[in-house]
Structure 1
Amino acid sequence: ITCNKPFSGKRSSFCDWRDYILKCLLVTSNLLFTVLGLVTLVVGLWGLINKESFAQEKISGIGTDPMLLFTFLGFILALLSLMGCVGALRENMCLLRNFSAVVLVLVVAQVLAVVVLYSLQGQIEDYLHSGMLAAMVRYQDDLDLRFITDEIQTGLQCCGADTYRDWGINVYFNCSAPGVQACGVPPSCCIDPLENGTVWNSQCGVGAQKLDEFSAQSVIFLGGCMGSISRWIEQHSGVIVTVVIILLGVQILTMFITAHLLLKIRWSRAQHAVYLQSLQ
Structure 2
Amino acid sequence: FSFVNPWIRYFLFFFSFLFWVFSLLIVAMGVYAKVQKATTVRDTFLIDPAVILIVVGVVMFFITFCGCIGALRENIRLLKTFSFSLTLVFLTQLAIAILGFFYSDQTRDALGNFVKKAITHYRDDLDLQNLMDYIQKEQFKCCGWNNYTDWSWNLYFNCTHENPSSERCAVPYSCCTPVPGESVINTMCGFGVQTQTFLEADKSIYPMGCADRAVMWVESHLLLVGALALGLALP
SS of aligned partner of 2:207 = coil
User: Which residue does 1:129 correspond to in 2?
Assistant: 112
User: Which residue does 1:24 correspond to in 2?
Assistant: 10
Q: 1:221 to 1:79 in 2, by over 3 A?
A: same
Q: Report which stretch shifted further, 86-95 or 105-114.
A: 105-114
State whether structure 2 residue 164 is matched by structure 1 residue 181. Answer: no
User: Which residue does 2:48 correspond to in 1?
Assistant: 65
Which amino acid in structure 2 is aligned with residue 169 of structure 1? W
User: Which residue does 1:274 correspond to in 2?
Assistant: none
Which amino acid in structure 1 is aligned with residue 20 of structure 2? T
State whether structure 2 residue 208 is matched by structure 1 residue 223. Answer: yes
Aligned residues: 230
Q: CA deviation at 1:126?
A: 1.1
- State the percentage of identical aligned residues: 30
Q: CA deviation at 1:120?
A: 1.4
User: Which residue does 2:133 correspond to in 1?
Assistant: 150
User: Which residue does 1:115 correspond to in 2?
Assistant: 98
Q: Report which stretch shifted further, 203-212 or 106-115.
A: 106-115
Q: Which structure has the larger Rg over C-alpha atoms?
A: 1
Q: CA deviation at 1:247?
A: 4.4
Q: Could you list the per-position Cα deviations for residues 20-58 of structure 1 after superposition, in whole angstroms to 9, with x for gaps in the alignment?
A: 2111101001000101111111111111111146x6xx4
Q: CA deviation at 1:141?
A: 0.6
Q: 1:210 to 1:111 in 2, by over 3 A?
A: closer
SS of aligned partner of 2:163 = coil
Q: 1:247 to 1:61 in 2, by over 3 A?
A: closer
Which amino acid in structure 1 is aligned with residue 124 of structure 2? D
Whole-Å Cα distance in 2 between the matches of residues 208 and 195 of structure 1?
20
Q: CA deviation at 1:73?
A: 0.7
Q: Which one of the candidate residues 156, 162, 168 is aligned to 1:172?
A: 156
On the 8 A contact 1:23/1:88 being kept in 2, the answer is: yes
Q: Which runs of 5+ in 2 are unaligned?
A: none
On the 8 A contact 2:44/2:118 being kept in 1, the answer is: no
Q: 1:24 to 1:153 in 2, by over 3 A?
A: same
Normalised by the length of structure 1, the TM-score is 0.76
Whole-Å Cα distance in 2 between the matches of residues 97 and 44 of structure 1?
29
User: Which residue does 1:104 correspond to in 2?
Assistant: 87
State whether structure 2 residue 167 is matched by structure 1 residue 199. Answer: no
Which amino acid in structure 1 is aligned with residue 68 of structure 2? C
Q: CA RMSD in A?
A: 2.0
Q: Which runs of 5+ in 1 are unaligned?
A: 1-12, 252-280
On the 8 A contact 1:158/1:189 being kept in 2, the answer is: yes
Q: Which one of the candidate residues 27, 31, 45 is aligned to 1:45?
A: 31
User: Which residue does 2:219 correspond to in 1?
Assistant: 234
On the 8 A contact 2:176/2:204 being kept in 1, the answer is: yes
Which amino acid in structure 1 is aligned with residue 72 of structure 2? L
Q: CA deviation at 1:203?
A: 0.8
Structure 1 residue runs of 4 or more that deviate by more than 6 Å after TM superposition = none
Q: 1:28 to 1:50 in 2, by over 3 A?
A: same
Q: Could you list the per-position Cα deviations for residues 237-269 of structure 1 after superposition, in whole angstroms to 9, with x for gaps in the alignment?
A: 122123324544x36xxxxxxxxxxxxxxxxxx
Q: Could you list the per-position Cα deviations for residues 75-119 of structure 1 after superposition, in whole angstroms to 9, with x for gaps in the alignment?
A: 111121112111111112222222222223222222222222222
